[in-house]
Structure 1
Amino acid sequence: MRETDIFIGRQPIFDRDGKCISYELLYRSAYESSEAVFSNNADATARVIINLIHNIGLSSILGNKIGYINVDEQIILSDVFLSLPKSKFVFEILEYTKVTPDVIEKVRHLHEIGYKFALDDFSCENENIEYFKLLFPYIDVVKIDLLALNNMTLEEIIGKFSSYQDIKLLAEKVENIEIFEQCIKAGFDYFQGYFFEKPTVISGIKIEPSVINAIDIINTLYSTADMNLISEKFSFYPELTFNLLRYINSAEFSFRHEITSIKQILNLLGPSRLRSWLGLFLYSGHHEERFQEAIVDAAKFRANMMRELVIALGKPKLADEAFLVGSLSLIDTYLHISMEDIIHKIHLAQPLVDALVKREGYFGKLLLITEKLEKTENIQTLIEHLAPKINLTTDQLYRIYSKAYNYTIETHLS
């Protein structure tokens, strides 16, 4: 297996205001068999650290966020912590870690010199609390799996930690906004899950002017191929023109000629690719919107995953349409407007509409696959299950996933 076949996955962690403040970092390895490439959590954590330091870089994957990394007693008792800056990480002690006197003493020492620790997938049964109790003075965050509460209420969970004022509680596997709000009311501090992708429609909400302008040009692109007319449209919208110039000068292009006009850029891109770019531009407003950063990252992943899928399936002419479907698939969540209402404002082809509204048709099938891959924690098992359904090998699907995921991280704005 090549070094490039391993990369880091990340899941966003939010504060009570819906701001992404951290990422849980997970290793992702090339698909070779149904068994994990690494034999234990120590190997997995070591690989995450090696990739961070030597291959990817802290700033590329974390930006100004904090990273959460899984550890067990082997890692705790090793010197691996010295490889990472303590201000940038929280180390998650896995639920089956052996809490020996040596482990307690090492955690105490590391905490004393500034390292931070969390308890992962913590069960609030009295027996489990008693087992980990000696670690509590050195724990900063306890992660509670909401799908494994064993009939306890959220308030009962909070009560279990009422005497530990320095411990923050993180709700894992939050499934929707309603549960997020319930957790806030109960007193949780942090939240992890894909609940932010569920659309919540707000009646009478105003759409940002930049979004309206982008929709106007998307509609124009569907109604005419006259680049003079489209170029004239851009002249009315300076913000769009500026961002188009930034896009054409990005690393994605090797554009070596002097730019003399917007029409020159439009001819270079062509209508399909321009629509694809505008699809992502729709997410450029609402900079203070909660979950905005995570939604944009998810839309980028979906767009690139969809494009790579149709290319691998031998339909490169559909790549731009697939990209547009992926990029628009979360626009209802982002704008708080129903997908049906958005579709009425954009004159999309029917196959794209079917995919976005009903998850039907060729694009709809690929979008469903993309959504599953985006959210899974067990990427190898899911790829093994999905690849034959779309006539790809597991290796092909893994590499498509890896390429789309890495692109999302590389283009992330910290």
Structure 2
Amino acid sequence: MQDVFIGRQPIFDRRIQVYAYELLYRDGYVGYARINDVDQASCDVLANVLLEIGLENIVGPHKAFCNFSQGFLLQKPDLSFAAQQLVVEILETVQPTAEVLTAIDRFRAAGHLIALDDFVYDAGLQPLVERADIIKLEVLDVDFDVLRQRIDQLRGLKPRLIFLAEKVETNEVFQACRDLGFDYFQGYFFSKPKIVTGKKLPPSRLALLQLVAELQRPDVVLERVEQIIQSDVNLSVKLLRQINSSYYSLIHPVSSIRQAIVRFGLDHIRTWTCVLLLGGVSEKPLELMGMALIRGRMCALLAQQSQPQGVQTCFTVGLFSLLDSILDAPMEQILSSLPLSQEIKTALLEHGGPCGAILDQVKTYEASALMQQNGAVGENPALRTAYWEAVKWADHIRAGLC
């Protein structure tokens, strides 16, 4: 199945809070765009964002700036379902023909904000200014007096325009642009574009999400769990392969999904499902996945001593404690889309409750272990034992995911 790629660069407000993301065409894990057809590039970005990866998965509750070429504008795609989030960013090559202006009016009427990219004013572009909500001005190597004159000129044409500074590369430039009256800011000073990738939703992903939801129910039904796993060949093969691995030293191999569930219990299936879910969405190095597995297992081992009824919950808390790093999104936003208990969410967001306290202990140990490499602190023997047991377990689990 073919990967799809999107470049994502944040846009910040005057308080350096994320206001939006600009979504950029990428054809691989590269930090630049290789564009042969600008109209097709615009189309590909929207298709990948709206149909493949999902707008919410890329920008969360924030707005999304997407480049619209002249040819793509004239296709008049119906994007009204995303009007509150999708900002139509008109490229600097677009000319204000009657057809273009009609297309822009159509987007405005649907509720989209209109932005003008890399804008340099001349009288012939006034119809675009009249329809714009946001104007993006490039500030790299531009004299601040020139910028002030451009802003004053444009505000004279439309007083309520919003200005966005592009290519802000130093704090000095950011402060100067803020003083000039810019409302939003974008550039390498804040963040370089990051690559977001995704695939079309395969049946196994859908089955996996259904399985997570079912396993989180307080009245989980074994037959329903069995049915979901059996509905997807990939899930069935992965479960039986891991159960029958040498790690468990079974005398007789497990040959059915029901036998696997009964033999190892729903807690084991929950653990296995969480690991598969996390491994399936991660685009980061395997080492980060390994860190999450170690945290999960270490939390579970410590819970056996102090919270024996909450071992599985503590495992999930530890495993998911790196979700924000793995998915490049705020933890609160990620958790809002996962069918997890409030206990788990509180532990992850606030380190609250018994599982949150254990997670805090594990994270403190991680930091202490790093310091100990320089001879700064000693180790807790119980934590050290749990850590190395977790490392061994995590290595086995990662091998089973291949």
TM-score, length-scaled by structure 1: 0.47
Higher RCO, 1 or 2 (CA under 8 Å, sep at least 6)? 1
